[in-house]
Structure 1
Amino acid sequence: MPTNNGATPTTLHSNPVFNEDRWVIQIRKTLDDEDQEDETGIPVSIFNVPKILMLSKPEAYIPQQVAIGPYHHWRPELYEMERYKLSAARRTQKQLQRVKFQQVVDNFVKHEHRIRSYYHRYLDFNGETLAWMMAVDASFLLEFLQIFTLKEGKFISGGSSRMSHLIEYAGRRSAQNAILRDILMLENQIPLFLLRMILELQSSFSEECDETISMILASFIKELSPFKMMENFPHIQVMDHSHLLELLYHLLIQKSEEHHEIHENEDQGETAEATEKEYANLSHFQQLLNTIWGMGSSLKVRPVHYVKRAITSRPVKLVVKLPWTMISKIPGLSLLKQPVDYFFNMDKDNHKSDGDTTNENSNRPPLIEEITIPSVSELFNAGVKFAPTKGDISTVAFDEKTVTFHLPAVSLDVNTEGILRNLVAFEASAVCGPLVFTRYTELMNGIIDTEEDVQLLRKKGIVMNCLKTDAEVADLWNGMSKSLRLTKVPFLDKVIEDVNRYYSRRWKVKLRKFMKSYVFGSWQFLTFLAAILLLLLTTLEAFCSVYSCSRWFNAKTIQ
């Protein structure tokens, strides 16, 4: 399918004619090479972006400035950067210890099959071409990464004379950001062990080489990572990670399985459960009267005092004791049953779905409805507090005791959306288990609907907005709704369930849902009002049949 700039995801070079002779030679060479190293243990880690994600926003996945690796190497619109790559290769050659740049290429040729094993797509060119491509791209990438320092994790626009040619070419920060985004795209990756091989030829000591590459990568990841949580940045073992994007992914997800659940007080839980059971045993009409009584008891207004005396009278007590389960089946009064059942069974249904079906739901794929969660504004109005954490995604939690929603602090700038989207694409392509990062983006997409939601998170220190407006941040999260498959992530799903359960139990929320379902846009509301009015008039008539209402009101007036 055509993408922007006339490129196609399946095009390796500008010549569309398949070279059959070269293909046969390549296959014969591969089968006859008995000395070929066995690379079957290396998992594929560099993929094409899935089409469903590519269609949502192609420019987030297709490099716009520079091609790194074979997938986009032959695109003519990116060829302007080739002369800067060659300049980097010449400077690399000057720094080599007693060898020529040809030695770098020869070493890469020896690892041809290992290099190919990282790529999901078949690379339709010979080994020497692949080695030269990788040597030039690795030289450029290594030099570009070295402009990041560990001192403050800042981009030093004039701090490296080695990159002055590129800075002059870029001319402005926006072009530099475009290159940074390109470097972290899934289809624009090369194996990290190639960078280390170049450093080995530049350095006399292997230990010094490991320290240098670790420092370079740590500086780059700290600068580009949306989560500013790495106070004690782990030492990067280059050989443990395939490429830059995979390195960033595993640094963000490394602690996700070590989620610490928040346990409720057992005594409070048992008391609440007993109260719920006792409350559920009452008839719906008794529950309705109890609720109204509880809300009105605190009022000291004189008319309320009269109503309270009327409700506690003997006729009304007789009405309450009637078998309302049977009476609700009478035409007219039966209309009361549905809204009252809805209003008072909401908690019980939620509790049942949370408790009785836990084992049943644990092994089945999640439904779309299970991703639904109230927005930040709705949660804030319901009494939920928000607090930032200095950690990765595993620190997402909801504390029911303090009613606090804990979320990791995330910094958003012009590079963030591309990074987040490519992390999701990598996870969808390379990770077999739960899609933790994808589920996190779905959570943020769920709680952020408008710029008001972003503003609340920004004031709490959870969102650090480096974009122009809060509306842009809201659009960023809301635009990341595409996912290849639904997944269950236990600790995040538990947070979503806990938040939804707390929110649905709030009286304001229940009243709002009740009004929305049975009042606004519903003809049943008028019937419900008529039935309630009829009930009140019947109660008043029964009261006046026992007491002389006119004499009682006249006596109050004389006083």
Structure 2
Amino acid sequence: MNSNPNLISGDRRWILQIRQTIDEDIEEDDIDFPVSIFNVPTSLVSTKPDCYIPQQVALGPYHHWRPELYEMERFKISAARRYQKQLQDGGLKFEHIVDQLAVFEPRIRACYHKYLDFDGETLIWMMALDASFLIGFLDVYAIENGFVMRFSSRTLRLGDFSCRRFAYDAILRDIVMLENQIPIFLLEKMLEFQFHCLESAQKSLTSMLVGFCKEVSPLRVITDVRQVLHSTHVLGFLYHMIVDPIMLSHNQQEEEEEETRYNFFKGIINGVQRFLERLKHSEPVKLIEKFSPAIVSNVPVVRIFKHHVFKEDKQVLNVDQRDHKPPLTEEISIPSVTDLSKAGFRFSPSAGGIFTINFDANSSVFFLPVLSLDVNTDVVLRNLIAYEACNASGPLILTRYTELMNGIIDTKEDAKLLRERGIMVNRLKNDEEVANLWNGMSRSVRLTKVPFLDKVIEDVNKNYERTLRVRIEKLMKVYVVESWQFLVYILY
């Protein structure tokens, strides 16, 4: 007999939940609350499961029943006790908080893409415990007087001091996993119960999240958090802190301008198409058709019109067949950092957490973020990419950025050069681990075009191909290497 109560009564519980959902008077806002917590696509999980499946602690319902994660339940209970002691109303118990959270059950369920096979009471207790644990963990990263407070007296008791850093890194990685997210409004509600003030709760939560993002982000984060307060969970908050809203608006503006140009040229081409159709039935064209095809086909002008006018089985200038296909893999090819450096390109850090790539005073300057890598970066980036792939309706900006970095970092020599230029802070063991991190980064579930990043790739390739060194190498290959191979073939 299966000892898991979740599986024993699953069918009956499903019926009860459906009845309750239909009969309850649920607010429209709760029904329309957008899905934000997804299952990671199988194509991504299969590449490196440990980066997507929690190893230390389960937060939320997706991995709650995994026995190997039960050990952390005692730390969740300890966090709930500390939270209860911090309640300003001394008579208020943790179970009273759970009762007040029950009204948000429909909204909680709406956040998850997967059906939650839990009864209402179990789900709310689970969420309350997980939220108190997460608040206790994030509180370590709260910014006080401009500094992030880490490993203070408030630190969760996770074993002896020698293992504390290891334990914290393991939990930190679990917290940023897409399948381990809980709705951020629950954290806000828990803090509001604690402070009896929504404004104080929001201020405290923002301080925690900003400090946490500054700690784990491999890229610089924005300073104006007003743009990201609408985030639905911790990973979403981190994503929006990295992917600057200015980039998103810039990209949308470029798409609108491209659409405007397309409509303009489409109008012109449609006019040309109508002219060609009328010309096709005109007397001069009918007269030309009476001549010998061999004579007519040698006339340059006729040769141009032949394809568009005389071909009955082809559409004339069909501009509606625009190339909306995603970019091919070959389109992200770009010389490595070492090759660019040998060709005369310069890499240098700049103000505002960015670095520049430029060839000479007359060439374009390309801006990319400065990197800071540690043992958590691989998991952080992979889950940000998974979230972007599941949640974003537009271009996959962060995904395209990682593809670009994968393109310019091929070997440990590339990583070393960026580190020595101050463009990359490497807290990993060595430069080879950095190269392996980028080269092992999985692609997203779909390719995408991001205009301002694609322009970097295009311009770097264009400038690289024009360098004297590359031109000489190509000439040597054509006139020396290939000629020598031909000579060897003739002699033997």
Same fold at TM > 0.5: yes
Q: Is the 8 A contact 2:347 2:356 kept in 1?
A: no
- Tell me which residue corresponds to 1:505: 466
Structure 1, residues 434-480: CA drift from partner, whole Å, max 9, x if none? 00000000000000000110111112211100111000000000000
**Deviation sequence 1:372-396 (CA, Å, 0-9, x none):** 0000000011111112345578x87
Which residue in the other structure is 2:177 paired with? 185
Deviation at 1:255, TM superposition (A): 2.4
Which of the numbers 227, 233, 236 marks the counterpart of 1:243? 233
1:485: which partner in 2? 446
1:453 paired residue number: 414
Distance (whole Å) between structure 2 residues aligned to residue 236 and residue 432 of structure 1: 18
* Mapping for residues 118-129 of structure 1, pairs under 5 Å: 118-129=111-122
Matches within 5 A, 1:1-150: 16=7, 19-98=10-89, 99-150=92-143
C-alpha distance in structure 2 between counterparts of 1:516 and 1:53, whole Å: 40
2:391 maps to what in 1?
430
Deviation at 1:15, TM superposition (A): 5.3
Indicate if the aligned counterparts of 2:79 and 2:133 stay in contact, CA closer than 8 A.
Answer: yes
Contact in 1 for aligned 2:61/2:116 (Cα 8 Å): yes
Contact 1:384 1:404 in 2 (8 A): no
Distance 1:138 1:424 in 2: 24
Instruction: Quickly say closer, same or farther: Cα 1:236–1:495, change in 2 above 3 A.
Output: closer
Alignment partners' CA distance in 2, 1:164 and 1:241: 26
- Provide the secondary structure at the position in 2 that maps to 1:407: strand
The CA deviation at 1:425 is: 0.5
Map of 1:505-524 to 2, 5 A cutoff? 505-516=466-477, 519-520=480-481
- Higher mean displacement: 163-172 or 420-429: 163-172
Counterpart-to-counterpart distance in 1, 2:397 and 2:29: 32
Q: Contact conserved, 1:148 with 1:154, CA < 8 A, in 2?
A: yes
CA distances 1:132-164 after superposition (whole Å, capped 9, x unpaired) = 00000000100111111425655622x12x435
Shift of 1:407: 2.2
TM-score by length of 2: 0.78
1:161-310 correspondence runs (5 A): 162-166=154-158, 168=160, 171-230=163-222, 232-235=223-226, 238=229, 240-253=230-243, 254-257=245-248
| Aligned partners of 1:396 and 1:492 also within 8 Å | no
SS at match of 1:467: coil
Residue-by-residue CA offset, 1:294-328 (whole Å, 9 max, x unaligned): xxxxxxxxxxxxxxxxxxxxxxxxxxxxxxxxxxx
Give me the whole-angstrom Cα distance separating, in 1, the residues matched to 2:358 and 2:7.
55
Cα gap change, 1:465 to 1:169, in 2 (>3 Å): closer
Q: Deviations over 1:206-257 (max 9, x none)?
A: 3222211111111111111112354x4534764x110000011111112213
CA distance in 1, matches of 2:248, 2:71: 45
| Percent identity for Structure 1 against Structure 2 | 53
> What's the offset of the Cα at 1:506?
1.6
Aligned position for 2:283: none
TM-fit CA distance, 1:202:
1.0
AA of the residue aligned to 1:156 = R
Matched, 1:156 2:150: yes
How far 1:193 sits from its partner (Å)? 0.7
Q: Write the distance in 2 (CA, Å) between the matches of 1:34 and 1:404.
A: 58
Structure 1 residues 229 and 180: alpha-carbon distance in aligned structure 2, compared to 1, 3 A threshold:
same
Q: Is the 8 A contact 1:396 1:495 kept in 2?
A: no
How far apart are residue 423 of structure 1 and its match?
0.4
Which string of whole-angstrom CA distances, capped at 9 and with x for unpartnered residues, describes residues 353-390 of structure 1? xxxxxx99874321111100000000011111112345
Q: Structure 2 stretches of 5 or more lacking a match?
A: 254-319
Whole-Å separation in 2 of the counterparts to 1:168 and 1:197: 32
Residues 398 and 495 in structure 1, CA contact (< 8 A), matched pair in contact too? no
Encode CA deviations 1:259-283: one digit per residue, 9 max, x unaligned.
599xxxxxxxxxxxxxxxxxxxxxx
* 1:442 corresponds to 2:397: no
Kindly state the Cα deviation for residue 170 of structure 1 after the two structures are TM-superposed. 7.7
**In 2: Cα distance, 1:444 partner to 1:196 partner:** 36
1:61, distance to aligned residue in structure 2 (A) = 0.7
If you compute each CA radius of gyration, which structure gives the higher value, 1 or 2? Answer: 1
Q: What SS does structure 2 have at the residue aligned with 1:378?
A: helix
SS at match of 1:56: coil
Q: Does 1:376 align with 2:337?
A: yes
Counterpart AA for 2:123: L
CA contact (8 A) 2:105 2:124 kept: yes
Show the counterpart of 1:314.
Answer: none
Is the contact made by 1:60 and 1:421 (CA closer than 8 Å) also made in structure 2?
Answer: yes
CA separation in 2, counterparts of 1:229 and 1:109?
Answer: 35
Q: Which moved more, 1:206-215 or 1:505-514?
A: 505-514
